[in-house]
Structure 1
Amino acid sequence: MNALLLAGGLGTRLRPLTENLPKPMALVANRPWLEHLIVHLKKQGIRHFVIAVKHYPEVIENYFGTGEKWGVNIQYAVEQTLLGTAGAIKNAEPYLDDRFIVINADIVHEIEIEPLLAFHKRHGGGVTIGLTEVDDPTHYGVVEQDGEGRILRFVEKPRLEEAPSNRINAGIYVMDKEMLRYIPEQQEVSIERETFPLLIEKGEGVYGTVISGYWMDMGTKERYRRIHWDLLNRAYRLPLPGRQNGKGIWIGKNCDIHSGVLLIPPVLIGDNVKIGERSIIGPFSVIGNDCVIGKHVRCAETIMWDRCLAHNGVVMNNCIFGYDLEIGSKHILHEAVMSRIGVLQA
């Protein structure tokens, strides 16, 4: 069985970070999320991947290549025009096994696949949708199910008193390939709004089961920050790189951190980072690889991607900086989101 990773979205709500970058390539704990996802799935026995790409596909293809570096095999299904979630799956049909897994690659999670597969085999239907439970279902498409888990209908953004459940589509599916006959070729089609309701109408057996473990859509800047804060306070248990130097402080290799620097946990510092005297880093700060931070810098609740340079006296609070940014001396930045994409290399 192979896995299809949907990585073709434009990532508009994360701009400017995704202006020239596919959203699943945004860094999570100083590595592209898509890399974390492939490693996570490989640990669960998946070795063959198809990645559906559209927005700057060369960034993903140049980074992963054939997947040999990660001990997996990767093929690419390139969309010439935007095809939507179902259209992207249909476009990848030649590469897919008779039964396959589909994952929205911009969902950050630690989901175990085996229970989903076991449930799919038991019910015998054409599709299994991984579901997650939310406190407020009014912003989502909510499912109504029978006692065996069969999905009867989707209710889009219901009022709280009208919601049939608090279960929503988690963006993870198991599908039988024969279900793709219901998706027209080379058309923009939504699997959530069009294909799944059609399969229910045709009686093909669309089932859902609640998946356990961490789950977060990183589609907005607020959620992107939340993922990192959850990582740092270990609500999300993705392994963090570097050695732990005191509770809540992780430091990478070959760092030059002046003895007068104050690190306020939780903090994650990448490899080859330089930090000047009397700077204060943290709490809740992530510093990417090869960054240089000058003297008397204050950095709190901030995510900084690789190769950034912050000159002396800079103050950064609740910011997100993309690759290769240079921040001039004594700038004060609050809730800034800035990006200047450099060359991404594996």
Structure 2
Amino acid sequence: MKALFLAGGLGTRLRPLTEHLPKPMALVGNRPWLEHLLLHYKDQGVNEFVIAVKHYRELIESHLGDGSKYGVRIDYAVEKELLGTAGAIKNAEHLLSDRFIVVNADIIHQVDLRSALRFHENHGGAATICLTEVDDPSHYGVVEQTDNGRIVRFIEKPKKEEAPSNRVNAGIYIMERRALELVPSGRAVSIEKETFPLLIDNGSGVYGHPIGGYWMDMGTKERYRQLHWDLLDRRFPVKIEGKDMEGKGIWLGDNVRVGQGVLFVPPVMIGDDVTIGDRAIIGPYAVVGKASRIGNQVRLANSILWDRCKVRAGAQLNDCIFGSGMQVGPHILHEAVCNRNLEVQRR
């Protein structure tokens, strides 16, 4: 079975971080999320992947390649223009198997795929929508189901008081190839508004299966921060690179140079080849990307730095997110999101 990762979008709500970057390539714990996702599905038994790409496709292709370094095979389906979820699947149809998995690649999750596959095999329908339960379903696609899991209605972003359930589309689908017979070629097609309603109406069988595990849409800066705090608190159990120093929630990568009098306030994650100056205070809730340079007496808390950042001596940063290669200081910054020098957004 193959998995199709939909990775063509930019993620406008994560700007400026993803202004020139596909949203699934945003760093999560100092590694592109798309790489985490690939490894998670490999662990679930998938070893053939198709990645739908459009914006800045070369960044994805150059990083993941043909998959051989991960022990998997990767093919790419290129969209000349954005085709919507169903349109992107149709565009990749020639690369897919008779049964395949579709994943919105910007959704953060760790789930038990085998349980969903068993459910799909047993019901015999054309599609299974993996579902997750949320407190407020008004921002998502909500389903109404029968007792056996068959979906009878699919409602996109209803008002909270009008939602038939709190089970929402998790952005993960198991589909049979015959489901694509209803999808027109060469134009944008919404799977939620067009394809699934058609499959429901003609009796093809669309079912919903609740999934456990961690799930989050990282589509806003607030959720992106929370994702990292969950990672550091191990509520999101993705692998953290580096050594956990005596189990204290302080992870240090290879070749980290720590100056005199540095204080780590856990939880803290430091990437490879990082230099931290004398008497710096790092944490709590700090993620520092690879090859970054932290100056003397820097105070860094509740902040995420991507790779190759430079923070000059004396800077104080709280609730900040910096894109790769950012240089700052000596400033006092609070709730700043930057993707290049001197481009700072404050709330």
Query: TM-score, normalization: structure 1?
Result: 0.96
Q: CA separation in 1, counterparts of 2:180 and 2:170? A: 20
Distance 1:86 1:297 in 2: 48
1:258 counterpart residue number? 259
RMSD: 1.1
Name the aligned partner's letter for residue 249 of structure 1: I
> Partner amino acid for 1:33?
W
What SS class does the counterpart of residue 34 from structure 1 fall into?
A: helix
- Contact (CA 8 Å) 2:2, 2:48: kept in 1 or not? yes
Deviates more, 1:332-341 or 1:54-63: 332-341
Corresponding residue number in structure 2 for 1:170 = 170
| Residue 245 (structure 1) aligned with residue 248 (structure 2) | no
Instruction: Measure the CA separation in 2 of the matches of 1:66 and 1:102.
Output: 19
Report the secondary structure of 1:338's partner residue.
strand
Separation of aligned partners in 2, 1:216 and 1:222? 11
Cα-to-partner distance string for 1:251-299 (whole Å, 9 max, x where unaligned)? 1111101131111011000111100111111110100010000011011
- Amino acid in structure 1 at the alignment position of 2:121: K
The reply to whether residue 273 of structure 1 matches residue 270 of structure 2 is: no
Structure 1: how far apart are the matches of 2:160 and 2:79?
Answer: 37
Deviation readout 1:207-242 (Å, 9 max, x if unpaired): 001000000011111111111000011111112110
Structure 1 residue 173 displacement after superposition: 0.4
Secondary structure at the aligned position of 1:277 is classed as: coil
Secondary structure at the aligned position of 2:103 is classed as: strand
2:136 alignment partner AA: D
Equivalent residue, structure 1, for 2:37: 37
C-alpha distance in structure 2 between counterparts of 1:138 and 1:23, whole Å: 23
Q: Which residue is 1:6 aligned to?
A: 6
Partner of 1:55: helix, strand, or coil? Answer: coil
Partner of 1:309: 310
Name the CA distance, whole Å, in 2 between partners of 1:40 and 1:321.
26
Aligned partners of 1:196 and 1:69: how far apart in 2? 36
Q: CA deviation at 1:154?
A: 1.5
Q: CA deviation at 1:45?
A: 1.2
* Per-residue deviation, 1:192: 1.1
Aligned twin of 1:158: 158
Check the 8 A contact 2:306/2:324 in 1, yes or no. yes
1:38, 1:185 → 2: CA distance? 27
CA distance, structure 2, for counterparts of residue 46 and residue 106 of structure 1: 18
Which 5+ residue runs of structure 2 have no aligned equivalent? Answer: 342-347
Q: For 1:31, what is the secondary structure of its paired residue?
A: coil
Q: Secondary structure at the match of 1:77?
A: strand
**SS of residue paired to 1:188:** coil
**2: CA distance between counterparts of 1:340 and 1:184?**
41
Count of matched residue positions in the alignment of Structure 1 and Structure 2: 340
Residues 156 and 192, structure 2, Cα contact 8 Å, conserved in 1: no
Q: Give how far 1:326 is off.
A: 1.0
* Equivalent position SS for 1:97: coil
Offset, 1:139? 2.5
TM-score, normalised to structure 2's length? 0.96
Identity among equivalent pairs (%): 63
The letter for the 2-side match of 1:267 is V
Distance across 2 between alignment mates of 1:31 and 1:310? 20
Q: Deviations over 1:3-24 (max 9, x none)?
A: 0000011211111111111000
| 1:113-124 paired onto structure 2 within 5 Å | 113-124=113-124
Q: Which residue of 1 aligns with 2:224?
A: 224
Deviates more, 1:225-234 or 1:133-142: 133-142
Q: Which SS does the other structure have where 1:303 is aligned?
A: strand
Show the counterpart of 1:57.
57
- Distance in 1 (CA, whole Å) between partners of 2:161 and 2:219 is 27
Q: State the alpha-carbon separation in 2 of the partners of residues 115 and 229 from structure 1.
A: 28
- Counterpart position of 1:203: 203
Number of the residue aligned with 2:345: none
1:112 aligns to 2:112 (yes or no): yes
CA offset digits 1:187-221 (Å, max 9, x no partner): 11111111111111111100001000000011111
Give 1:300 deviation, angstroms: 0.6
Deviations 1:67-88 (A, max 9, x none): 1110110000000011011110
Query: Shift of the alpha carbon at 1:178?
Result: 1.1
CA distance in 1, matches of 2:95, 2:22: 21
Kindly provide the amino acid, as one letter, of the partner of residue 309 in structure 1.
K
Partner of 1:333: 333
Q: Which runs of 5+ in 1 are unaligned?
A: 342-346
Partner in structure 2 of residue 284 of structure 1 = 285
CA contact (8 A) 2:327 2:340 kept: no
Amino acid corresponding to residue 212 of structure 1 in structure 2: G
Question: In structure 1, what residue type is equivalent to 2:297?
Answer: H
CA distance in 1 between counterparts of 2:331 and 2:80 reads 42
**Superposed CA offset, 1:34-63 (max 9, x none):** 000101111111110000001111100111
Q: Which residue of 2 aligns with 1:191?
A: 191
Return the offset for 1:112: 1.5
